[in-house]
Amino acid sequence: MIRKERAAFVQRRLQELYPETPIPLDHTDPYTLLVAVLLSAQCTDARVNTVTPALFSLADNPADMAGKTAAQVEKIVKPCGLAPRKSKAIVELSAILVDQYGGEVPRDLEALEQLPGVGHKTASVVVSQAFGVPAFPVDTHIHRCAQRWGLTAGRNVVHTERDLKKLFDASVWNRLHLQIIFYGREYCTARGCNGLVCEICRTCYPRRKTPPVVNGA
């Protein structure tokens, strides 16, 4: 298979496996999604979902959250890891949303990236999942899967995101991002598949005998 053929197979098979793509982080609006995605850095979605009910009971909108202290937030989000940094960012970005955006989460990727604690991947998730703006957030595991499947030779997530956006039509980016996450968690895990085990790896490279070298993952 050439790269375009592998991409077509991946898209078709993932659509068969995951025709529905529910957002794995519990939220009620763009603001609660933004906070949940921020908390998910170096933390599982499942753990975030156990923490956010108490956090959003404390404050579930920018105005209320801006009135809390980082210490109050940190006490709740500690199980997510990096709690001092994340709690400070949540309070600070909430104040910025109130002061500069009328308490609303901006739909603009660059504006989101300027908020404390919000990097490109977090901003991409928010614009795609909260507002339906085409984006292709790439985390370490999507990067790993894309390399195993021969969809990129990128040495980092930035390069991989660029390659995936070239391979797939923008109309499927948002859905495909989640489908790769679902498949990666179920079949092409970091330790459960070394590029030789799962269906997609074996179909894309039926003659592969040794695990591929995965760069930057």
Respond yes or no: is residue 121 known to be catalytic: yes
Phi, psi of 124 (to 5 degrees): -65, -40
Of 108, 139, 163, 169, catalytic? 139
Question: Which has the closest alpha carbon to 184: 131, 133, 147, 154?
Answer: 147
Alpha carbon distance 15, 20 (integer Å): 8
Of 121, 163, 165, 169, catalytic? 121
Question: Which has the closest alpha carbon to 137: 151, 126, 149, 152?
Answer: 126
Alpha carbon distance 215, 195 (integer Å): 13
Question: Which has the closest alpha carbon to 79: 60, 99, 53, 102?
Answer: 53
Altogether, the residues listed in the chain come to a count of 217
Q: Which two tokens stand for residue 210?
A: 């040794």
Alpha carbon distance 81, 31 (integer Å): 20
Is the CB of residue 113 less than 8 Å from the CB of residue 125?
Answer: no
Task: Indicate which residues carry an active-site annotation.
Answer: 121, 139
